[in-house]
Structure 1
Amino acid sequence: MRISQRWARRLLILAPAALTILFAACSDPQTTIEPRSDMTEAIQGVYEIVFWLSMFVFVAIMLLTLWLAVRYREQPGREAIQIHGHQRLEILWTIIPVAIVLIMLVPTWQVIADTTDTPPENSMVVEATGKQWWFEFKYPDLGITTANELHVQAGRPVHVKLYADDVIHSFWIPQLAGKVDMVPGHENDLWFTPNDDSAREEAYLGQCVEFCGASHANMRFRVFVHDEAGFNAWAENELSDALEPTTELGQLGATLFVVRCAECHTVRGTAASIADFGPDLTHIGSRETIAAGILDNNFENLVKWISNPAEIKPGIEPENDIIDKDPPLRFMRAFEDEISAEDIQAIAQYLTELK
């Protein structure tokens, strides 16, 4: 009875922890076990082969261990027999691991060959550049430049050319594309085709997965998969020049933006349309997030970001600028030290109107 009570107390302690771990794994926006493209489906197929082989080996070893423990347990009058060498057994336990490795190796090679093959001719080309600590996306065939939000079309291959401006980054969209490094001075490539049924309003999450400095964990991006009509509508809006602000506060913000922000940022169709150090903000009001995916895009968060970005994203203090490199590395300064709170709100209002 004492033993039962002791085990009952242990189970009461362990059960909540086990359930917490279990339920935490049930809904993960960066899951790899719900693939939504040809590339991730192929990778998941290899994972499943490895998983079931591992389970087979685990169960077989556990059953064999249990059988040996029972079959050769100590008994009165029984003497242990020492066995020195068993050729057939040694051959068997050599062949089995080799066979298991080959079963994993062949599909792995096939997936590597398929996913690194030449992209289809009708692929949408995207040039993705990793910077500390945000992503720039260019569509050279469309003339579109945006930041931290990648838009693609369901059923159409996407050829992503990967670059880095400063240090090594890594590009990963768990449900759509496997991890590939972004290396300064070198072009890497990946391509994938989102499933026909992968279009949805909710974004797929992407992340830099190579440690790249103080705000590595804050270097995220969103991927939106549209149907053909939805993608064309997005592209048409992106190609248009910035909208004129309609509010008095927004109009003041537009003037202040040219004076204070045009040194680093572009808003096409305005006097602030030259610089390209920072993200293109022509249609920032239409984006879901700011600061590389770590803040919802709204007036309050824009005010916080403009006021003191280093408070939100460590490491982007201006003293960390590297001006003598090509291209220069420049971080956003804290405008709360330079302009009034009212002027910051005006700039934030202007940015919210850039739909």
Structure 2
Amino acid sequence: MMKGIKKWRLFSLLTALMVFLSGCGEEHLSTLTPAGQVGRDQLDLMVLSTAIMVLVIIVVMIVYVLAIVKFRRSKVGENVIPKQVEGSHKLELIWTIVPIILLLILTVPTVVSTYKLADVSGMDTVDAKGNKTAVTVNVKANLYWWEFEYPDLGIVTAQELVVPTQEKVYFNLKAADVKHSFWIPAAGGKLDTNVDNLNKFYLTFDNPSESLQDGVFYGKCAELCGPSHALMDFKVKSLDRDDFDAWVADMKASKEETPEGDVAQQGQEIFNTSCIACHAVSGAGSTGGVGPNLATFGDRNRVAGFMEHTPENIKAWISNPEKHKPGNLMPEPKEINNGKDFTDQELTALTEYLMGLSVEE
């Protein structure tokens, strides 16, 4: 008996914890703190559907409890059979009409929002000079990293998406290898990236992300895609339009330059003989790199999308990428360094060079 009571106590504790934890969420990663109109519209649908479900549960529980209380054996006696309502037209009408009404209440706003959020016609709007007025980003999902190309702006980056605030940002989604799913929880619902077809949608961001933890929103792959699926993260910086335009100009002007300091120059030499075949270091151009574009590597807050941006983690990642992100396609050091591992001096030089790749002042 006591064992059963203890189990119920544990169940009650877990239920209470679930209620409290459901309210937890960070502004940079939670669907409950939407960053733009798309997120708010989707949150409203979530609240509406939840409210309808809770209402149905409450009504059913009330009927259930009333039936137990009113017709319990100790009250009505042993041999009393309550009035039978099978075939009651009144009840049948009630439990047919009420669900239809609830479904209509949920269906109408859902359909309206679905068509509204699927409207990407603004992607092709041009000004008097024939230039595209909206920001469009071609998203390519790879094992296990993200590439972001701005085709109308002539720039490309990886792992960190940069977007303007107070306007629609349109996305063309494609996968390079297997199915992935593009998701920025605070901005809006996920959408699959497929190998064979292009998916399109848009998101909006109200305010710059600089006030958030790490100064970014967090994005994720929401489709199980392999052993490192959970590590396939990316970051999103939202900027005022003027700051976004300045960032675009800096990206266009970025190019491979001789770094300052002997150690960084040594790192550049190693990079140009071992890494340049897969990684670009200029933000200007188009997509197509085998590996992530590293033009903004020094501005990032994560290594490989999930490790703290520290020299130690950069060295650890270069030395053994498979250990930290299983299944990724980055070659081991011996494959690109004449059959030898990088020495600590070479790793230090590479780290110094990579930390200097920056477009932000």
Aligned to 1:277: 290
Secondary structure, aligned partner of 1:179: strand
**Displacement of 1:267:** 1.8
Aligned to 1:86: 88
Instruction: Give distance in 2, aligned partners of 1:263 and 1:126.
Output: 24
Instruction: Give distance in 2, aligned partners of 1:102 and 1:268.
Output: 53
Secondary structure, aligned partner of 2:191: strand
Asked whether 1:251 is paired with 2:265, we answer yes
Aligned counterparts, 1:64-103, within 5 A: 64-74=63-73, 75-76=76-77, 79-81=80-82, 82-103=84-105
- TM-score, normalised to structure 1's length? 0.86
Instruction: Give distance in 2, aligned partners of 1:38 and 1:274.
Output: 30
Q: CA RMSD in A?
A: 2.6
**Displacement of 1:196:** 4.6
Instruction: Give distance in 1, aligned partners of 2:29 and 2:319.
Output: 31
Tell me the alpha carbon deviations over residues 164-201 of structure 1, each in whole angstroms, 9 at most, x when there is no partner: 11111111111113211111132110112212576645
Change (3 A) 1:17 1:211: same
Tell me the alpha carbon deviations over residues 198-242 of structure 1, each in whole angstroms, 9 at most, x when there is no partner: 664521111111121221111111111111233233223222224
- Check conservation: 1:36, 1:198, Cα contact below 8 A: no
- Residue 233 of structure 1, aligned match among 222, 246, 254: 246
Instruction: Look up the equivalent residue of 1:65 and give its one-letter code.
Output: Y
Change (3 A) 1:164 1:99: same
Instruction: Give distance in 1, aligned partners of 2:242 and 2:211.
Output: 13
Asked whether 1:315 is paired with 2:318, we answer no
- TM-score, normalised to structure 2's length? 0.85
- Check conservation: 1:129, 1:164, Cα contact below 8 A: yes
Aligned to 2:185: 174
Tell me the alpha carbon deviations over residues 260-305 of structure 1, each in whole angstroms, 9 at most, x when there is no partner: 1112111239xxx9982111112211112121x2112221111011
- Check conservation: 2:161, 2:236, Cα contact below 8 A: yes
Instruction: Look up the equivalent residue of 2:150 and give its one-letter code.
Output: Y
Secondary structure, aligned partner of 2:223: coil
- Residue 304 of structure 1, aligned match among 316, 334, 348: 316
- Check conservation: 1:119, 1:159, Cα contact below 8 A: no
Aligned to 1:295: 307
Instruction: Look up the equivalent residue of 2:320 and give its one-letter code.
Output: N
Which deviates more from structure 2 when the two are superposed, residues 9-18 or residues 219-228? 9-18
- Check conservation: 1:242, 1:283, Cα contact below 8 A: no
- Check conservation: 1:200, 1:224, Cα contact below 8 A: no
Instruction: Give distance in 2, aligned partners of 1:147 and 1:181.
Output: 18
Aligned to 2:332: 334
Aligned counterparts, 1:1-355, within 5 A: 13=10, 17-18=14-15, 20-25=17-22, 26-28=24-26, 29-74=28-73, 75-76=76-77, 79-81=80-82, 82-120=84-122, 121=125, 122-196=133-207, 200-201=211-212, 202-239=215-252, 240-268=254-282, 276-291=289-304, 293-316=305-328, 331-335=329-333, 337-355=340-358
* Identity of matched residues, %: 31
- Check conservation: 2:181, 2:223, Cα contact below 8 A: yes
Tell me the alpha carbon deviations over residues 49-96 of structure 1, each in whole angstroms, 9 at most, x when there is no partner: 111111111111111111111112223365104444211111111111
Secondary structure, aligned partner of 1:127: strand
- Check conservation: 1:37, 1:192, Cα contact below 8 A: yes
Secondary structure, aligned partner of 2:352: helix
Aligned to 1:320: none
Q: Unaligned 5+ residue runs, structure 1?
A: 317-330
- Check conservation: 2:267, 2:349, Cα contact below 8 A: yes
Which deviates more from structure 2 when the two are superposed, residues 92-101 or residues 241-250? 241-250
- Check conservation: 1:128, 1:138, Cα contact below 8 A: yes
Change (3 A) 1:124 1:339: same
**Displacement of 1:14:** 5.3
**Displacement of 1:34:** 1.2
Q: Unaligned 5+ residue runs, structure 2?
A: 126-132, 335-339
Instruction: Give distance in 2, aligned partners of 1:197 and 1:307.
Output: 36
- Check conservation: 1:303, 1:344, Cα contact below 8 A: yes
Instruction: Give distance in 2, aligned partners of 1:52 and 1:349.
Output: 54
